Amino acid sequence: MIEFVLFLGLCFILGGLAVASNPSPYYGVVGLVLASVAGCGWLVSLGVSFVALVLVMVYLGGMLVVFVYSVS
């Protein structure tokens, strides 16, 4: 189980770096999705699944709407 949590932490860090280092919003949103899913998986492994669900619905949904608006 500890390996899975460490893997999610590594994915979260790599997703954050992908968002920060990509000048193109097309590739930055892939990092955003990776970081959000890894962070939510980390929260589920800690036992706070409701917070993880709210994070996916509010944060990821809102950011993807902003991404689509800025691209169009």
State how far the Cα of 60 lies from the Cα of 54, in Å rounded to an integer: 9
Please report where in the chains the tokens 């991404």 appear, as a residue. 67
Report pLDDT for 59: 77
pLDDT in tens, 5-54: 899 999 999 988 988 898 887 778 888 888 888 988 988 998 898 988 89
Report pLDDT for 6: 92
State how far the Cα of 72 lies from the Cα of 53, in Å rounded to an integer: 28
Task: Check residues 71 and 47 and name the one with the higher pLDDT.
Answer: 47
> What is the dihedral angle through the alpha carbons of 40, 42, 46, 50, rounded to the nearest 10 degrees?
0
